[in-house]
Structure 1
Amino acid sequence: MIATHAYTEASVKLVNTSPTKPQSVEWVIPNEPSIQIIEKNDDYLEVKFSNTGSYQFGLKGKQGECEKTFYKDVIVEQNLSGVELEPARISNIKEFTIVPNPNQGVYKVIVKLYEEADIKIRLMDMISHEPFAPKTLSKATEFEVPFNYQIPSGTYLIILETQDEALVKKMIVQ
């Protein structure tokens, strides 16, 4: 399942990334009135959140008598960065890469844009949801941003924000 970060009032898709297709698939959705289901099928679940918080979604696959459920937390924040929630055009982001990944806390974020824009890169711990100080960079089309954090092993989110969009990637620190 992909999608670990969202903004309130923006739709987000949780994608079934299972390598094999089970006989049946069932989405496990939190019983929260702040979650609006937009579309649901075996391949993805599209939802919209009206409140901030952390929500745990599951994807249950059944094959004969066997059953397995995978869970994923989706962190929902307010859109304080001014990211356009429904952009009018295609993505300006040509490339968004973290190298190496996994790493030891020393890594680079490589960003290439089609058109010049300011960017902001944020790091967030997936367990505690603790944000780290963001790096904001001035207008350009190519960025290579080094990071050297003394952070514990775990899974982190790298959030890239530009004028009208946001992308999230998962990073593992060993």
Structure 2
Amino acid sequence: MLLASHTGHALEAGLDEAGRGCLAGPVFAAAVILPAAFNPRFLNDSKQLSAKQREALRPEICAQAVAWAVGQASVAEIGSLNIAQASYLAMHRAVAALAVVPAHLLVDGNRFAPLAGVPHTCIIGGDGLYRSIAAASVLAKTFRDEHMRALAANFPAYGWEQNAGYPTLQHRAAIRAHGPCPHHRPGFRLL
């Protein structure tokens, strides 16, 4: 059973990212503030859910959240900053896009670049412990997967509609056969 809150504050926002370990595409992050009573049956870390479960949860989260937003950092930003800093940038953009200013941030992981005026707590494995982080995990993953499916329409050789840019054997074989494209991350070991 996931916990409703860490601080007990009604405007606590969960933060998570998706796509950090990918070879291609932007990194996405989501920020979600949930009402205390929101507790759908199978809400969990997005990696523990099927694609069908994630897609079913997404509209429910978006409809019932106090506030939610998604941010991203581009392949060029990943290349110039590094993946960790680009992930923080995507998270900062998600928080900035919230319709409500959060009182506290619950961040999945062990590190975060602080935002002025907004206290935060990093929680390793937080997407499997807190509802708001799990919801952010679901939104970041589904919005990123949707983005990668759209990119796959113009770059079908890489199989992004299935691998979402992660380093699968199929993806690496396609890079070997066709070379990288502009959506592949510079500086990442592609092969």
Same-fold status (TM-score > 0.5): no
> Which has the bigger relative contact order, CA under 8 A and spacing at least 6?
2
Q: TM-score, normalised by structure 2?
A: 0.25
Which structure: larger Rg? 1
More strand by share: 1
Q: TM-score, normalised by structure 1?
A: 0.27
